Structure 1
């Protein structure tokens, strides 16, 4: 039973007790149990039972009831079909799946129950509705498969037709690909749902995940669907191996799309296989810390690297630029191809700006293609498309005669589509309505029958107007009007006060409270002409629209090719404009392991505060003497800015952009690692220090000699003793391990680490220059060689507004600790003495005795730790690892 007061179903009636329409509803719902069913009844979509309760709650619409049997009522909610998109988007954003069930016949022409079918299932990864889509961002659906120890990954955006496939060997690489694509939905087999890293990524990125039945992942089914869809005889032409994890992932996602989208997916014309080694690896931590597409705190685009670089004119270009930034290249030749295009475009600023002007009117071809495939495109979309096509010949002319390899490729790929442009201009009126079923979309002169019906329609209305004047004059009824509605057609309306003037031959049609409606033989004849012409014209115009749509759909491969070329031109024109405006230079690209940047600047900070002159700094890292830079100096002095700008400049160079510097020689980097800032993940049971150590472990596990590591303040989440020890050991590990040797920038407040310059090969000290003026300091923002012996904590606290009484007390405490530290420096520990294995034999027993008798109260924990650790290691080596027994 349905309790109207509490709006609760207490019993679901059997099928035999239901009305015929509700039996149909239940049958369709049974096939789509995991979806909310939008069931069309006339001009509304109705939801019943639990679906109704969910929609009422999530969409804030009324929850009512409907009789589903003779006595039983079920919860019901509804919404108008014409406004369905906005409601649909709200449900999809909350992670629900919705099955759209439409009426497939005209209820007026049907006896009995109207035939209904689910025309499409909408989920976060298959949503085509414009309000839910960000123009400059893809909406990816991802499929993950594990087969024979290899992970297959397929990512498809049905709104643009992009389809990528790859294979990776580790779970960490899977997480990196998820981070790169940030899909809104993932489909996978059951095994993935139990993987801890996968679950963490899912929660962090708010991804909807569905596990599919094993039938989707059968190798033969996946292979066959790919061959049929792409019209190819074998998968070799795609660079895919039959039965591989990549093939299974690509096939499974296609099977899923065919089942849920219920159309030909003709806009998915190609699949692009790739290897992750062709791109720089950026994990989620690096993307977040470097603020590539959004800021760390507010999560806004403004203040990110993308905000600086994205001056594109088209949605297609914006999406492609984002993908370039998310996937920096590792092939020198490909990087230089992009740099050459930017250089050529900036050799003629007038041509570049003219090109950008034309691109401004280019429509989003990629998403238009998907709407054509789904038959949801409207007349106004085609009008905008035609306007865009009209500028393509001018764009092609501007890039003709180029000397660069990539521009030549774009020139060849850019099809001007003049035949489609001509068709659209000839066929559609410029003021076409939104819906093709409203009429008035076909131009005069395009189709003879349309012209005939349009003339009959116009002349018929003129005849009716003439008849109205004639009958008004003959009857003497001055306010006589001929009106129309869909139920009664045309009629003469006469107010009650003029009833005595109605001629006898008029035929009464309807009585109202204050008027009477009549018709005449002549009016009936005119009605047949006018109404018949209207209906025939509407039907004919819609049929012609469908023919044109189908004709353009056959040209989808050409349109996709042109869309890709236009997007590339937009990206390079944007990067060229930014480079010119911001004084960027072309970097040299090398594989010698050298990163040498002269007068480097942070690309974002200098744009956020353009009124302040940004202080440039040099950066020099290599594989030998300058592998690791230890960076010391006070807080707020610019250490983090310096390190981030190095990473961003390297990334910009490898994505094919000019860089903010006076010159740059950038070695190819396979991966950028970052450990920056303090954060925790309490939901996952991880403290700030635990998160920090997890990130450090990831770096030490996966970094290579070709990696770039950014480390900011390791060890500050624990005691000074532990923190210093960990920081020291991490630097040693990076420097000494044969498989490491990664180029590293390490900012720290542990001044003791500056001693590593003398002890470990490849370590260099740098510090931030500071000018002291009494109790105040001035940050000079300049990085200079050498370490610092001051942290300037009191000075920074004063700048932050800490009360004077606190600062005075802190000064007293620091003075006492400094006196104790002075005693340490005169202690018998000789910090400058090199301890070698040769100095130890014959003295082992004495050293062990000294260690046992050492008064640790006379030294700071940091000084004692460094001395004891070093001595312990050397003695232990001599004694063959038996020191613990002593």
Structure 2
């Protein structure tokens, strides 16, 4: 580096430790970037790229941003997944001998954002760590640095469960051991858009022993320690708000894989990736930011323990009964700010006086909240009352110390109340009396000189002065006024009396501002001591907020309280899809019943496209999820089992990043369900097999139904256009046909959206195409082709039949031809068609084998059955 200047050498030495981050290098009032950072930042931030001499032969690329506007630029880079290292001057340039000492004071990453637009009010900003142990156990720890929440779990299963957990969290950043296999790193990057960071150290240091004391296993401690080491190393400050790490098991909650959550659109929609149109959007009647975050957590993790679910239901029921009390609760909650993130900012050291006043106002609502809950006189309300800590000592302090509307800055004064500190009152008195004297001086000088335009002013450069226009200079007395500044149209003067008073006023103001800052930092340190109590209070307020939200939605949308069945029975009367019903608004939503028990394990759903099959299937899943988070459900009556898992295969989507086709994604989702479902699970399969040939698709669909029926026993809704599968109702005892009814009226298709028993009679595909407004000539031609195909099918069926008594010999011959000679090239003999074989032919209408002879068609079906049996 000998070719560079000392300052550039310093930059390169610091940059060497932050290769994966933009280095914001402080030079005076600017953050500067050099070399590759400058080239990349100028593009990403759309700022001017310049250059400077660096001591070498070539000019060094350079760009910079003003210090005061840096948060905006930092936020842009973080939202794009980058990291930013903030490098400050750590000594006074006037006292520096040589290059001013600089060092990185904070590394800001996507998972460690503490403020700004990148931190959504009702969303957590999680950073996670993944540890792989020698026995193939995986440890996952995660934390939201803005709230201090920290949790950890062990997953003794496949890496897919790790990926699913990271997807559930929506982690913005994942910290891993640098030695993790490249293949696993690649999978993490593929599944989610995350920033991958590395941390080798997982030792238990003294600074966070307290946070790990509740964890028994060393694996859990090591997993969290890796995350904490990274947080302390990058933030370079006290993180007093980090909560004691809480251990959880993924089996404590209903399990839903990444695909199922996406298909059901629980927290965001598939197309827009936004909240509107999701279950979260429907439910979110929370009044606080922290309540909104808890609601999302509950939706992501429905409960599976009936007792816990029913506790939530009891409070929802209570709030439904107490309408006026609930309305009062909502009004009070509206005045509660984000206690969790306020506590985090206190610990982080970036809280201001206005934040503390928000904290004070929030705590001021707690006594009224307690009073309302106490008036309900129930055990569940009393439990919540005990957890509502108003932190009275803290509110007393903040009330006495802070002015009502403090400024944003904490270094310019006017934040501490009069009477809080005697020394500060003395400084203020001197300053205020001095300013009164200044006002009197102006009046006296006008009277003495007769100059009505004379004024006494102040600026930071020249201090206090007496200003006289040049037209009035002849009225001044010689000798008493000392010229201080000349302007175009006026002169500014100072007198001995004004100079003396100026010194007293400015000294008092400077000391006052400095003392206010010291007092504020002392108050902030005192508030830190209340952080654990504030975090406990925040969790209780959040819980109350979510439960009142459930009650509000349930009342407004006419939901009913579900009951749970130990016999795995489902009985839903007048069930509705909650989100579709809301989107339709004033339009009438057609409700449907759903009945399943030990004799009806699998419902085979047929009916036209656009008729509502997928909606019917999704509404069962969403109803179950609503029930298991403790909310009421969209039905007039509902009895449900508690599902341990929900699997869905709905919709079509390529996974281009992984190079997987629509059909491959479909098969992977189906495989995940079939491999992991239990008898207590819910499976929703929509149009399995449509991404391949008719034979392959129908064979796979039937094989899956049979496998679920014989080997799993899970409650299953299976929608299909393969009407041939409806015969399974006769072969599999627990399969029942239902269909979405439709009717033709004046040649037009009318959807009734009503679920009926039995199978649909046809698909109405061309009618649906007509509804989609395909060109009229195309529709006309399609109808002509359909008539021709149906005519051929009817002609094929008119082959003369042999007498019924000859049926055994013919069937045996057909079986032999099918199973033992289907691979040979010899021509199969023709044979008459029996009534049973004619029925089979009718079921083959929609297959592409209508040009075959009847015997060849039957043999192809037998070949299909043989493959399924294998």
Map 1:153-302 onto structure 2 (within 5 A).
153-168=140-155, 169-190=157-178, 192=180, 194-195=182-183, 199-200=186-187, 202-212=189-199, 214=200, 216-217=201-202, 221=203, 224-225=204-205, 228-231=207-210, 238-242=214-218, 244=219, 246-302=220-276
Aligned to 2:419: 445
Mapped to 2, the partners of 1:635 and 1:700 lie a distance apart of: 26
Aligned 8 A contact 1:315 1:364 in 2:
yes
Aligned to 2:518: 543
Aligned 8 A contact 1:53 1:75 in 2:
yes
How far the C-alpha of 1:873 sits from its partner, in A, is 6.7
How far the C-alpha of 1:23 sits from its partner, in A, is 4.7
Aligned to 2:574: 599
Mapped to 2, the partners of 1:132 and 1:419 lie a distance apart of: 34
Q: Secondary structure at the match of 1:231?
A: helix
Is 1:806 the counterpart of 2:778 in the alignment? yes
Q: Deviation digits for residues 634-687 of structure 1, max 9, x if unmatched?
A: 011110110000000011111111101111111111111111112212343222
Instruction: Using the TM superposition, name which of 499-508 and 725-734 deviates more.
Output: 499-508
How far the C-alpha of 1:858 sits from its partner, in A, is 2.0
Is 1:328 the counterpart of 2:309 in the alignment? no
Q: Secondary structure at the match of 2:374?
A: coil
Is 1:570 the counterpart of 2:545 in the alignment? yes
How far the C-alpha of 1:805 sits from its partner, in A, is 2.2
Q: Deviation digits for residues 812-858 of structure 1, max 9, x if unmatched?
A: 2112222333356567999x99x99xx99999757657756267712
Q: 1:475 to 1:108 in 2, by over 3 A?
A: farther
How far the C-alpha of 1:519 sits from its partner, in A, is 2.4
Aligned to 2:103: 117
How far the C-alpha of 1:495 sits from its partner, in A, is 4.3
Mapped to 1, the partners of 2:179 and 2:58 lie a distance apart of: 43
Mapped to 1, the partners of 2:705 and 2:26 lie a distance apart of: 66
Map 1:236-635 onto structure 2 (within 5 A).
238-242=214-218, 244=219, 246-400=220-374, 406-502=380-476, 503-512=478-487, 515-622=490-597, 624-635=598-609
Instruction: Using the TM superposition, name which of 381-390 and 102-111 deviates more.
Output: 102-111
Aligned 8 A contact 2:215 2:246 in 1:
no
Residue 863 of structure 2 is aligned with which of 864, 868, 873?
A: 868
Aligned 8 A contact 2:210 2:244 in 1:
no
Q: 1:559 to 1:873 in 2, by over 3 A?
A: closer
Q: 1:182 to 1:120 in 2, by over 3 A?
A: same
Mapped to 1, the partners of 2:569 and 2:2 lie a distance apart of: 76
Mapped to 2, the partners of 1:72 and 1:527 lie a distance apart of: 53
Mapped to 1, the partners of 2:145 and 2:136 lie a distance apart of: 29
Aligned 8 A contact 1:584 1:661 in 2:
yes
Aligned 8 A contact 2:570 2:639 in 1:
yes
Mapped to 2, the partners of 1:519 and 1:27 lie a distance apart of: 52
Mapped to 1, the partners of 2:743 and 2:98 lie a distance apart of: 90
Instruction: Using the TM superposition, name which of 685-694 and 727-736 deviates more.
Output: 685-694
How far the C-alpha of 1:721 sits from its partner, in A, is 1.8
Where does the alignment leave 5 or more consecutive residues of structure 1 unmatched?
1-12, 877-886
Mapped to 1, the partners of 2:707 and 2:81 lie a distance apart of: 45
How far the C-alpha of 1:789 sits from its partner, in A, is 2.1
Mapped to 2, the partners of 1:50 and 1:848 lie a distance apart of: 70
Q: Deviation digits for residues 21-53 of structure 1, max 9, x if unmatched?
A: 545444433333332122233333232333233
Q: 1:402 to 1:275 in 2, by over 3 A?
A: farther
Q: Secondary structure at the match of 1:118?
A: strand
Mapped to 1, the partners of 2:819 and 2:286 lie a distance apart of: 69
Is 1:82 the counterpart of 2:60 in the alignment? no
Q: Secondary structure at the match of 2:111?
A: helix
Q: Deviation digits for residues 704-758 of structure 1, max 9, x if unmatched?
A: 2221111111111122122111111111111122xx2221101111100101111
Mapped to 1, the partners of 2:855 and 2:452 lie a distance apart of: 109
Is 1:750 the counterpart of 2:757 in the alignment? no
How far the C-alpha of 1:103 sits from its partner, in A, is 3.4
Mapped to 2, the partners of 1:627 and 1:537 lie a distance apart of: 77
Mapped to 2, the partners of 1:171 and 1:829 lie a distance apart of: 59
Aligned 8 A contact 2:412 2:513 in 1:
yes
The number of residue pairs the alignment matches comes to: 841
Where does the alignment leave 5 or more consecutive residues of structure 2 unmatched?
831-848
Q: 1:25 to 1:464 in 2, by over 3 A?
A: farther
Q: Deviation digits for residues 166-201 of structure 1, max 9, x if unmatched?
A: 0112111101101110111111124546236x6355
Mapped to 2, the partners of 1:48 and 1:508 lie a distance apart of: 48
How far the C-alpha of 1:796 sits from its partner, in A, is 1.5
Map 1:650-689 onto structure 2 (within 5 A).
650-689=624-663
Map 1:65-80 onto structure 2 (within 5 A).
65-69=51-55, 73-80=59-66
Mapped to 1, the partners of 2:619 and 2:725 lie a distance apart of: 23
How far the C-alpha of 1:228 sits from its partner, in A, is 4.1
Residue 731 of structure 2 is aligned with which of 745, 759, 762?
A: 759
Q: 1:415 to 1:526 in 2, by over 3 A?
A: same
Aligned 8 A contact 2:689 2:698 in 1:
yes
Mapped to 2, the partners of 1:43 and 1:460 lie a distance apart of: 34
Aligned to 2:842: none
Aligned to 1:879: none
Instruction: Using the TM superposition, name which of 149-158 and 408-417 deviates more.
Output: 408-417
Aligned 8 A contact 2:654 2:662 in 1:
yes
Mapped to 1, the partners of 2:817 and 2:30 lie a distance apart of: 93
Mapped to 2, the partners of 1:523 and 1:767 lie a distance apart of: 95
Map 1:822-841 onto structure 2 (within 5 A).
822=794
Mapped to 1, the partners of 2:385 and 2:689 lie a distance apart of: 54
Q: What TM-score, normalized to structure 2?
A: 0.91
Mapped to 1, the partners of 2:644 and 2:279 lie a distance apart of: 20
How far the C-alpha of 1:419 sits from its partner, in A, is 1.9
Instruction: Using the TM superposition, name which of 700-709 and 850-859 deviates more.
Output: 850-859
Aligned 8 A contact 2:819 2:863 in 1:
no
